[in-house]
Structure 1
Amino acid sequence: METFSSETAEPAAERKLTAGLLVLLAGLAAIGALSTNIILPSFPSIGVALNVPARDLGLTLSSFFIAFAIGQLFVGPLSDRYGRRWFVLGGLTVFIIGSAICGGAESFPMLIVGRIIQALGVCAASVLSRAIARDLFDGEALAKALSLTMVAMAAAPGFSPLLGSALDAQFGWRAAFIMVGASGAVLAAYYALSAGETHPPDRRLAASLSATMRAYRGLLADARFILPALAVSLIIGGLYAFFAAAPAILMLSLGLSALQLGLFFATTVFVVFAGGLLARRLAHKWGARSIAVIGIVLAMLGGGFLLAISEAPTFPGFAAAIAVFLLGMGLVNPLGTALTLQPFGRQAGLASALLGFLQMACAAAGTALTTALPLSPLGALSVILTGGSTLALVIFLRQRRDPNHGKA
């Protein structure tokens, strides 16, 4: 049976996995996703207030994804050299400033500037949540910590449209930015009071820019990293494609209201939550790699079922297909993330940054393809989910055959 092994990993610090620590890691992982989808219900209000055509509002998402992806490439290796604490606190401070700019924006360009600043700040919290988990835990404890934090990261986009809709209806579109900024402040205070430096000086890497670039190239060429990282990222790309396409599918094609759309998104969270809880329990019994493969297969089956009903969709059929995909995503995301980071204890920040970059790149590609493909929104989504999951399975299975896998 294949389980987690620490033979090639640096020893993690001894620390108990407490509820408070899990809440902190989950908050750091989720706040970036929360600040992304919470504004979707406010698009009509933003368009009217700033005199922006609806089709141009997608720039608020793509600009965020691009800045987020690029920013974490620098945060990760810098935190490996200088420690995690001040990058988390500094990043959340920048995020709060960006949220304030968005909330006070009187023009669309100013809103985009605020979104970019938001992303550059919050990327530190997201990437370093995984690095901190790797600093503190190893093996099955790492899988458990990542399972619950990844559930939070996946759940935030599900609940945030419902929250955003309520805020927009009661207080206007600016309230969503005020709320996420306040959340960043609370999270920064909680982190400052509850968490010490998790990456001590004796484990830090004094690397130059050229050495960092070589380290990134080394990770990209290392099958232990790149194969599970790409597989997880392709599944995450499918998740964000679902969020991008679902409003058009459910509201325009299937007749749901904005409130019903928010409730549907919120309901999907429980499927992801179930997958995350099952992941660590099943991995303990049958091995992380085997359960990750099952998760990818489930995601592929969900996409295939969606493809089969794309010509005559119904709400129950759509909901069932998405539930199967999300259950598979909930299994493979934490386990694949743990398998990706496990061999790279001394480079946890750098490895987590590159993994986050790949995930955001796939998220950007997935959301772009939902409108770029010459298909209906449902047809495009079904092709993205099926094709991405199939490619993820091929890539992940290659890892098991690689003769160098598991070697230092």
Structure 2
Amino acid sequence: MIGMLAPFTIDTYLPSFPAIEAELSANRDLLSQTLAIYLISFALATLFWGPMADRWGRKPIILISLVGYLVASILSALAQSIETLLLGRALQGTMLAGSLVASRAMLRDFFQGDEAQKAMALMMMLFTAAPALAPIIGGWLEMHLGWRSVFYFLAIYSVIIIMLFSLRVKESQSPEHVQSIHPLRILKGYWQSLVHPQFLRLVAAQGFIIGGFFVYVAGAASVVFDHLKLGEQDFWILFVPVVSGVLVGSILIHRLTHRFKATTLINVAFTLASLAVIINLIFESFLPVQAWLVIAPLVLYSFAFAMANPGLSLVALDCLPSQRGLASSVQSLFQMGMAGLVAALVVPYVQHSLQWMAISQAILVMLALLLWLSVRRQIQTTA
């Protein structure tokens, strides 16, 4: 449920863009920054939450950050200006980062070897349900209750998670893995992660491939409203097929982890992602705009993304086994940071053209592939 909260926070309010624009007197580019600031705040906050999870344990950090997220969601719902909404979104990202970083470290605490990759794939399967449901729920809430109800929905959902988590989940961190939060130790830990050649390239590759995904997530309003000429109830036409690709990829990875090495599955994933962006470039450059031509390559890309992500995550975390909370925070920094940079610096300049969106995605995938090719021979794992 915690994993689903992140995509809910990203996607549920997208159908409300026209209503928010009208009520808060904000243009599309400025409103897009509410997504960018959420992602960037999330990314930066992981640098704080990771060491806290290594020192104080996973469960306390998850509960504290969820309470903060609840407050931020209510602030967003009450916003009377775009500035207040931007503040609320920044706080949402800052607080939610804690629960995501700690929960990922908790998963790695509980599971080892093949079971860890299966658990990560299962988490990805649950994670994928939210983007399919989020715009549908958001569209219904917008139509019947208005855009503010979207943020009240997120607040209520966080309360449910807090109650269930506090009652049913135990602390996973063993006492011997408790780390100091002395600033010098934290800085040393981050420095070790950044100079670790394999870890740095793995998390950067993961960031770029996620960035390629977010070209279309952050630009979803423009794709649906401007290019496909659809309405606020039609976001499912984009999100359900794309999320289905992620779901199928996650199911496949869940079944194949005991038969193939993580490196083999990641190689296949990058091959499929490269094929997807090539097809996308051809479609957007030479064929007329049609919904299925826009969506089909994205389904293949999302399938490849789901295949690559669990393996990349686990291989990266295993580079720093005694500091998984810190490693998870750096991993999240690259993932959400790249997503935020794409939303802030790329999408506003390319969302006017499906061809330029396809080109942007292709460049990001090429960078991810080059990083993976540079490190895969050094990865020794049977996961």
**TM tier, shorter chain?**
over 0.9
Amino acid at match of 2:291: F
Preserved contact between residue 14 and residue 138 of structure 2 (Cα < 8 Å): yes
CA distance in 1, matches of 2:194, 2:370: 17
CA distance in 2, matches of 1:347, 1:254: 46
Per the alignment, in what secondary structure is the counterpart of residue 286 of structure 1? coil
1:208 aligns with 2:185: no
Q: 1:365 aligns with which of 338, 341, 350?
A: 341
Out of 107, 112, 125, the residue aligned to residue 151 of structure 1 is 125
1:87 matched residue in structure 2: 61
C-alpha distance in 2 between matches for 1:295 and 1:155: 21
Assess if the C-alpha contact under 8 Å between 1:304 and 1:386 holds in 2. yes
Shift of 1:405: 5.8
1:342-361 matched pairs, under 5 angstroms: 342-361=318-337
In structure 1, how many angstroms separate the alpha carbons of the residues matched to 2:221 and 2:129? 17
Structure 2: how far apart are the matches of 1:383 and 1:160? Answer: 27
- Long gaps (5+) in structure 1: 1-26
Letter in 1 for 2:312: G
Which residues in structure 2 correspond to 1:105-184 (within 5 Å)? Answer: 105-184=79-158
Q: Is the 8 A contact 1:162 1:265 kept in 2?
A: no
Over residues 208-228 of structure 1, what are the superposed CA-to-partner deviations in whole Å (9 max), with x where a residue is unaligned? 212211211211221331222
- Residues 260-282 of structure 1 show CA distances to partners (whole Å, capped at 9, x for unaligned) of 22333123222111101111322
User: Higher mean Cα deviation, 197-206 or 287-296?
Assistant: 197-206
Q: Does 1:221 align with 2:210?
A: no
Q: How many angstroms apart in 1 are the aligned matches of 2:212 and 2:82? A: 28
Q: Runs (4+) of structure 1 moved beyond 6 Å?
A: none
Instruction: Report the alpha carbon displacement of residue 396 of structure 1 after superposing the two structures with TM.
Output: 1.1
Q: 1:383 aligns with which of 340, 359, 376?
A: 359
Q: Are residue 392 (structure 1) and residue 364 (structure 2) matched?
A: no
Q: Which amino acid letter does the alignment assign opposite residue 397 of structure 1?
A: L
Amino acid at match of 1:240: F
The C-alpha deviation readout for 1:290-320, integer Å capped at 9, x for no partner, is 1111111211111111111113233222222
Instruction: Tell whether the 8 Å contact from 2:279 to 2:297 is kept in structure 1 after alignment.
Output: yes
Residue 320 (structure 1) aligned with residue 320 (structure 2) = no
Q: Confirm or deny: 8 A CA contact 1:30 1:126 kept in the other structure.
A: no
Deviation for aligned residue 1:365 = 2.4
After superposition, the CA RMSD in angstroms is 1.8
Say whether the 8 Å CA contact 1:279–1:335 is kept in structure 2. no
CA distance in structure 1 between the aligned counterparts of 2:197 and 2:29, rounded to whole angstroms = 40
Cα deviations across residues 187-223 of structure 1 (Å, max 9, x unaligned)? 0111101111111322111142122112112112213
In structure 2, how many angstroms separate the alpha carbons of the residues matched to 1:280 and 1:229?
21
Task: Give the AA of the match of 1:44.
Answer: P
C-alpha distance in 2 between matches for 1:234 and 1:267 = 22
Letter in 1 for 2:347: T
Corresponding residue of 2:377: 401
The aligned residue for residue 70 of structure 2 is 96
Counterpart secondary structure, 1:143: helix
| 2:15–2:235 Cα contact (<8 Å) kept | no
Q: CA deviation at 1:372?
A: 2.5
Q: Which residue of 2 aligns with 1:13?
A: none
Report Cα offsets for 1:89-127 as digits up to 9, x if no partner. 000000000111111122222222211221121111111
Identity %: 26
Q: Which amino acid aligns with 2:320?
A: F
Please say which of residues 48-57 and 344-353 is displaced more in the overlay.
48-57
SS at 1:309 equivalent:
helix
- Which deviations, in whole Å up to 9, do the C-alpha atoms of 1:134-188 show, x marking residues without a partner? 1111111110111121233344234312211110101111110000111111001
Partners of 2:211 and 2:338 within 8 A in 1: yes
1:243-262 Cα distance to aligned partner (Å, 9 max, x none): 12233234322333332223
Kept in 2, the 8 Å contact 1:245–1:378? The answer is no
Q: Which moved more, 1:54-63 or 1:71-80?
A: 54-63
1:177 and 1:67, CA in 2 relative to 1: closer, same or farther beyond 3 A? Answer: same
